[in-house]
Amino acid sequence: MIARVTVVFTVYLLVSFTTPVDAQAGSRTLMHTFQDHSRVVAVGITDLPSGPQGTVVSEDSTREKGPFAVSKAQFESMWTALMSSGMKQYTEKEVTLLTALVGYAGLYVFSVHMADGTKKHYAVPKGKASPGVAALAAQLRGYAGNTK
């Protein structure tokens, strides 16, 4: 039970309070959160006026990395892949306890911070994910050195 509480608390902190890169007003952020072995990892990319920058945040500080540059074209491609993949049906108001405890094995979990300041969370069942969403998750995990 203590391990589950730790995971839930960590997920809550990663998804609710951290912006992967210091976002500025009007910027967009795309984040994918996943579990790698016993650690929760979040990979986020923020579209800044100076160009998109990413970072990797984890419970394990040796896994953290950033900021790293991403081309504007790459960011737009990732954003479009997520926003045009029928994600509306997988919208969650927040990452729930159920998502945190069960979700990482069977779900692709994404969070976006829109230019208007709103946040959206998506929990997509892996078996129902479009090829674009699965490829996006793999691409973002690659920034964290995870190829699964």
Q: What pLDDT, on the 0 to 100 scale, is given for residue 93? A: 60
Q: What pLDDT, on the 0 to 100 scale, is given for residue 73? A: 95
- Kindly state the tokens that stand for 15: 């998804």
Give strand ranges (E) for the chain. Answer: 28-36, 39-47, 53-58, 65-69, 91-92, 107-113, 119-125
Q: What pLDDT, on the 0 to 100 scale, is given for residue 102? A: 54
Angstrom distance (rounded) from CA 136 to CA 31: 11
Residues of the chain with pLDDT below 50 are: 1-22, 97
Angstrom distance (rounded) from CA 71 to CA 81: 15
Q: What pLDDT, on the 0 to 100 scale, is given for residue 134? A: 92
Angstrom distance (rounded) from CA 16 to CA 61: 19
Q: What pLDDT, on the 0 to 100 scale, is given for residue 13? A: 44
> What's at 28, amino acid-wise?
R
Inter-residue contact 86 to 130 (CB < 8 Å): yes
Question: What are residue 42's DSSP bridge partners?
Answer: 33, 57
- β-strand pairing of 28-36 with 65-69: unpaired
Q: What pLDDT, on the 0 to 100 scale, is given for residue 41? A: 83
Structure pTM? 0.78
Angstrom distance (rounded) from CA 117 to CA 7: 26
